[in-house]
């Protein structure tokens, strides 16, 4: 119990210090008029965003929309990422052909690309999902590819000695040995998927309202308390996505992974 | 014939997994006795290297004109300095590496191979690791489970079936690796310096364990090691390899009876033979 308390204390202390600085800045530096439209007190943010029934409903509805857009985009990224990684691991020419473009995908400034995506496929939900896929695909490809190629030579020798087929080697050796790296990729991408979902919402307003749409609206109407509430929910969503895949990685690999 | 019968009895008592190999050994002994031959024949030659050489693509000349035979009932150990190509011999023997010159023959591809590292798949339990080879060969699930359970018992790891390798000591991992190869009832067993990373006591225990299995299961062994005492303790014959490019520069028959116990290490004859091998090794270095 005391160990758990000991582990909880540092982040809680940082949070308390952060909120303290927040109060200090809002109360001392800002006058009341500016405070209301830039940085309201912490308790005002909680009050207006989460205790007010109407606002809470709006924000939670938007969070749910952002969450499923991120989930659908991430699922597509996982399927595509695994597929490309497997193909690249099986044939050097595939890796040489596609890997540079996977890198390019990662280095493209997503904000510059988003309007272009809108022009191509419209400004609705589909475009937001595409943004999520673009932003979350690369870590899955690189981590899975790294994992598939990192199976030990001694283990490969065992399979060679028994004339194993490529598929046997892939499913009985490379995939299991790649699991920790794969889940690390999923974990990174899960956080990025949430970011992609919200960035997409900042640009694409058609269809269900998500956190990105809400953030746009709150900025336009100078509703700082709800804006901060939306940012808090975005952060919570990202943390939950990251935690979920961390939990899954532990569930599937902690019993055997030497590095855990 | 009495010895042979006792050996066959030990097989059934200990294992029940290698009846076929034991039967082959019996046939060979019968032939030898009936024909009055004391020398080894082609019939019982299980592994043969004939002027094998190996030059790697980067130009490294690893082996030069390596010739030796391993017969049924023999446990041959190759000793030599680091980097002399000992492991290359095993990789060629197993087919993992193609030799660049000479030829080699293996009587049966039912090969046991224990690597320097235990090479256990960390995501599999002990039982699933031991089942691996039967699984790769498409063996029936019930049969491979029963085979694996028997070999796990044989190497003294009963009760650890559901453990993952990370929870085992280095010595236990090596036992699992041994058990995994034993599921194939190999006629020829290759050991690539398997105990080099273990502490001395565990290493000596495993030396005795492998010696016991060698006699009980009648496989032929080809063992690689740096350690001269280990080579003498385990083998019927010790081959000395020169530094790179590796050549067989000397051969020593080891006369001690099996089963060999740790007392043997204090035998003056053991010390004398170890000294001779050591001198040969130093001359070829």
What is the residue extent of each domain of chain B?
A: 43-110+186-284
On whether residue A129 sits in a domain, the answer given is: yes
Asked if B103 and B179 count as a contact pair (C-beta separation under 8 A), the reply is no
On whether residue A49 sits in a domain, the answer given is: yes
Considering the domain architecture, whether residues A142 and A63 belong to the same structural domain is answered as yes
Q: Give B-chain residues touching A255 at CB under 8 angstroms.
A: 164
Predicted confidence (pLDDT) at residue B22 exceeds the cutoff of 50 = no
Nearest to A256 among B94, B116, B123 (CB): B123
pLDDT at B35: 39
- Of A189, A187, A190, A194, nearest to A250 by C-alpha is A187
Nearest to B137 among A152, A162, A177 (CB): A162
Q: Do B123 and A176 touch (CB under 8 A)?
A: yes
Q: b/e per residue, A188-208, with b = 16+ CB within 10 A?
A: bbbbbbbbbbbbbbbbbeebb
**Whole-number mean pLDDT of chain B?**
83
On whether residue A150 sits in a domain, the answer given is: yes
Considering the domain architecture, whether residues A104 and A146 belong to the same structural domain is answered as yes
% of chain A exceeding 90 in pLDDT: 79
Predicted confidence (pLDDT) at residue A114 exceeds the cutoff of 70 = yes
Predicted confidence (pLDDT) at residue B15 exceeds the cutoff of 50 = no
Considering the domain architecture, whether residues A16 and A145 belong to the same structural domain is answered as no
Query: How many residues are recorded in chain A?
Result: 260
Considering the domain architecture, whether residues A166 and A94 belong to the same structural domain is answered as yes
Considering the domain architecture, whether residues A15 and A89 belong to the same structural domain is answered as no
Could you tell me which residue, B34 or A239, shows the higher pLDDT?
A239
State the CB neighbour count (10 A cutoff) for residue A80.
15
Q: Do A179 and B123 touch (CB under 8 A)?
A: yes
Considering the domain architecture, whether residues A78 and A102 belong to the same structural domain is answered as yes
What is the per-residue pLDDT across B58-114, written as a single tens digit (0 to 9) for each? 999 999 999 999 998 899 999 998 888 899 999 999 999 999 999 998 887 788 899
Q: Do A256 and B117 touch (CB under 8 A)?
A: no
- Mean pLDDT lowest for which of A136-140, B16-20, B71-75, B226-230? B16-20
Q: Which of residues 73-102 of A touch B (CB under 8 A)?
A: none
What is the per-residue pLDDT across B195-241, written as a single tens digit (0 to 9) for each? 888 888 888 888 888 888 898 888 899 999 989 999 999 999 999 99
On whether residue A217 sits in a domain, the answer given is: yes
In angstroms, the separation between the Cα of residue B136 and the nearest Cα of chain A is: 7
Domain that holds residue A18: 1-30
In angstroms, the separation between the Cα of residue B115 and the nearest Cα of chain A is: 8
Does residue A63 sit at the B interface (CB-CB below 8 Å)?
Answer: no
Q: Give B-chain residues touching A176 at CB under 8 angstroms.
A: 121, 123-124
**Whole-number mean pLDDT of chain A?**
92
Partners of B136 in the β-ladder: none
Considering the domain architecture, whether residues A15 and A112 belong to the same structural domain is answered as no
Residue B259: band (very low, low, confident or very high) from pLDDT cuts 50, 70, 90: confident
Q: Give B-chain residues touching A257 at CB under 8 angstroms.
A: 122-123, 166
**What is the total count of domains within chain A?**
2
On whether residue A259 sits in a domain, the answer given is: no
Considering the domain architecture, whether residues A25 and A81 belong to the same structural domain is answered as no
Say whether domain B43-110+186-284 belongs to CATH 3.40.50.300.
yes
Q: Do B122 and A256 touch (CB under 8 A)?
A: yes
Query: Would you state the torsion angle of the CA atoms of residues B169, B175, B180, B185, taken in this order, to the nearest 10 degrees?
Result: 180
Q: b/e per residue, B84-102, with b = 16+ CB within 10 A?
A: bbbbbbbbbbbebbebeeb
Predicted confidence (pLDDT) at residue A47 exceeds the cutoff of 90 = yes
Q: Give A-chain residues touching B113 at CB under 8 angstroms.
A: 157, 161
On whether residue A67 sits in a domain, the answer given is: yes
On whether residue A258 sits in a domain, the answer given is: no
pTM of the model: 0.81
- CA dist B222 and A94 (Å) reads 41
What is the per-residue pLDDT across B165-198, written as a single tens digit (0 to 9) for each? 999 998 899 999 999 999 988 889 999 998 888 8
- Mean pLDDT lowest for which of A29-43, A177-191, B1-15? B1-15
Considering the domain architecture, whether residues A104 and A172 belong to the same structural domain is answered as yes
Does residue A168 sit at the B interface (CB-CB below 8 Å)?
Answer: yes
Considering the domain architecture, whether residues A75 and A24 belong to the same structural domain is answered as no
pLDDT at B40: 54
Predicted confidence (pLDDT) at residue A101 exceeds the cutoff of 60 = yes
């Amino acid at each position: 119990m005391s160990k758990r308390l000991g582990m909880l204390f540092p982040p809680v202390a940082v949070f308390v210090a952060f909120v303290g600085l927040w109060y200090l800045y809002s109360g001392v530096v800002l006058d009341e008029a500016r405070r209301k439209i830039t940085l309201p007190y912490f308790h005002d943010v909680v009050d207006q965003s989460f205790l007010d029934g109407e606002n809470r409903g709006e924000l939670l509805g938007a969070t749910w929309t952002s969450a499923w857009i991120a989930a659908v985009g991430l699922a597509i990224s996982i399927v595509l990422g695994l597929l490309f990684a497997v193909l690249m691991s099986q044939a050097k020419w595939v890796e040489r052909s596609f890997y540079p473009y996977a890198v390019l995908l990662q280095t493209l400034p997503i904000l510059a690309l988003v309007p272009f995506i809108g022009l191509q496929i419209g400004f609705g939900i589909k475009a937001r999902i595409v943004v999520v896929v673009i932003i979350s695909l690369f870590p899955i490809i690189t981590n899975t590819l790294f994992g598939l190629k990192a199976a030990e030579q001694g283990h490969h020798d065992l399979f060679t000695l028994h004339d194993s087929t490529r598929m046997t080697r892939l499913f009985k050796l490379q995939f299991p040995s790649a699991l920790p790296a794969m889940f690390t990729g999923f974990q990174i991408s899960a956080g990025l998927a949430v970011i992609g979902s919200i960035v997409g919402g900042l640009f694409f307003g058609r269809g269900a309202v998500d956190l990105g749409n809400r953030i746009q609206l709150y900025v336009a109407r100078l509703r700082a308390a709800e804006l901060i509430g939306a940012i808090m929910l975005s952060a919570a969503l990202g943390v939950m996505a990251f935690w979920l895949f961390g939990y899954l990685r532990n569930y599937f690999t902690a019993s055997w992974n030497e590095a855990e | 014939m009495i010895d042979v019968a006792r050996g066959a009895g030990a097989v059934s008592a200990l294992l029940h997994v290698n009846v076929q190999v034991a039967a082959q050994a019996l046939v060979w002994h019968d032939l030898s006795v009936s024909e009055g031959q004391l020398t080894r024949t082609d019939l019982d030659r299980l592994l043969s290297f004939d002027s094998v050489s190996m030059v790697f693509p980067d130009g490294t000349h690893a082996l030069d004109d390596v010739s030796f035979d391993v017969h049924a009932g023999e446990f041959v150990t190759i000793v030599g300095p680091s980097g002399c190509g000992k492991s290359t011999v095993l990789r060629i023997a197993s087919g993992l590496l193609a030799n660049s010159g000479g030829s080699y023959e293996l009587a049966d591809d039912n090969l046991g191979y224990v690597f320097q590292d235990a090479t256990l798949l960390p995501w599999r339990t002990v039982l699933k690791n031991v089942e691996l080879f039967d699984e790769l060969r498409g063996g029936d699930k019930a049969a491979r489970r029963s085979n694996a359970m028997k070999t796990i018992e044989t190497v003294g790891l009963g009760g650890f079936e559901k453990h993952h390798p990370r929870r085992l000591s280095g010595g236990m991992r090596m036992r699992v690796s041994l058990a995994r190869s034993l599921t194939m009832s190999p006629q020829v067993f290759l050991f690539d310096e398997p105990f080099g990373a273990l502490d001395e006591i565990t290493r000596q225990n495993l030396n005795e364990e492998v010696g016991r299995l060698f006699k009980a299961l009648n496989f032929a062994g080809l063992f690689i090691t740096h350690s001269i005492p280990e080579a003498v303790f385990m083998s019927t014959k010790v081959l000395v390899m020169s530094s790179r490019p590796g050549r067989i520069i000397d051969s020593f028959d080891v006369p001690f009876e099996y089963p060999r116990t740790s007392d043997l290490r204090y035998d003056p004859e053991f010390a004398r033979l170890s000294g001779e091998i050591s001198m040969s090794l130093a001359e070829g270095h």
